[in-house]
Amino acid sequence: MTERLCLVHYHEIGLKGKNRATFENQLVTNLHRALSVFDISHVGRVSGHLVVETADHRATEELAAAIRRVPGVARVSLAYKCGLDDREYVTAAIQALGEAGEFSSFKVHARRSSTTYELHSLDMNRLVGAALCEAFPDKKVDVHHPDFTVVVHVVQGSTYVYAASAPGVGGLPVGTAGKVVTLLSSGFDSPVATWMVGRRGAICVPVHFSGRPMTSDTSEWLCQDVVDALAPAGIVGRLYVVPFGERQREISLAVPQSLRIIMYRRVMMQVSERIARLEGAKALVTGESLGQVASQTLDNIAAVNEVVTIPVLRPLIGSDKQEIIRRAEEIGTYDISCQTAPDCCTLFMPRRPETHARMDQVLEAWESFDHEGMVSDLVENVEWRDFSQCPSYHAPKGTLREHHRELQPFSGAER
């Protein structure tokens, strides 16, 4: 019987040597989570690929599109699975090429991973090619630059046939590169930075610094929307929200106006580092791009970095705004980030922020207020919401047990 399924291709995972099975198994787990709304009967490994089969044996383009958004997936092909009867896979090849789209040229690539099959790959090429030339007499064979390549692959007692493939997001399966804490706002940059690190296999735990109570909680809702938009990638397990507005006011009254932003960011970095240690995260992630705003010059980045001891990753450091916006459109966060919302970034901003901070002045301003007490208080009052989209995320036990009431219903049983 011929069935239609999704054949999942990967690139980097195939280079992992003895650890390859670990990466494959994690990708299988992540696919099960990402495809929970579909009636999936099986996700398994077949000779350097993964196969996703549905209960009705009729995989759809909607299923393929969902698979393509999962980190670790390089390409997805809607394929036919047949037996070893050449008439069956020849018919499937004609059907696959006919469904692939508009084309003027094609070629056949047949191979067999099972040497027990009597036909040689060259004989399979001739057999399938002749049938396709007869079925599509107005199309030409081009072995060098075809519009479509019809693949016929015999493996483990079955034949997989496909012509059309579409690229996935690539990268590595989430859960294979540890955990990071990301500083998340509702703007363009930090959601893209979060997605980029998640695509490299990291579990992401975003922390959002809200201007509340000095501003509304609109930015918090938008950050929740950002996390929901990233749900198909399965990279976020928990969102922390830190009400920061009142503390910003205290800082603005205590330090020179030009150094306010640097002081805000130093406090934010220390709070994030505390959360990272509670979570067991190994690094912080920001959406900074070199020179984009005053706080992102090399001098100011160094002044902020000085206050933490774990690595700070900046995946967008060499990107310009147009590149970041294009990526936001691709991952589905652009429309959310277009919405304006007051948050901590808009509070008590100096007229002329320092662009090349001197460390002696920074340290003097840092000691002018009780930063240690402030950081401890912010961590104690942090709020959080869990998401079910990341199967590899495990929450810390016995710490930070305060739900974010504005973002999710709360009941005492959930404590």
User: Which residues are known binding-site members?
Assistant: 183-184, 208-209, 265, 287, 296
75-82 and 158-162 strand pairing = antiparallel
Contact yes or no for 197/233 (Cβ under 8 A): no
Closest CA to 81 of 173, 4, 143, 144: 4
Q: Which residue bears the tokens 């049983």?
A: 413
**Token couple for 354:** 């320092």
Distances (CA, A) of 127 to 18, 123, 130: 38, 6, 5
Distance separating alpha carbons of residues 186 and 241, to the nearest angstrom? 12
Contact yes or no for 235/203 (Cβ under 8 A): yes
What does the buried/exposed string (b/e) look like for 316-347 if buried means 16 or more CB atoms within 10 Å of the residue's CB?
bbebeeeebbebbeebbbbebbeeebbbbbeb
Alpha carbon 351 to chain centroid, angstroms: 37
Give start and end residues of each alpha helix (H) in 100-201. 121-135, 189-199
Give start and end residues of each alpha helix (H) in 35-81. 61-68
Distance separating alpha carbons of residues 88 and 7, to the nearest angstrom? 19
Residues annotated in a binding site for ATP? 183-184, 208-209, 265, 287, 296
Contacts of residue 370, defined as CB under 8 A and 6 or more positions apart, other chains included, come to: none
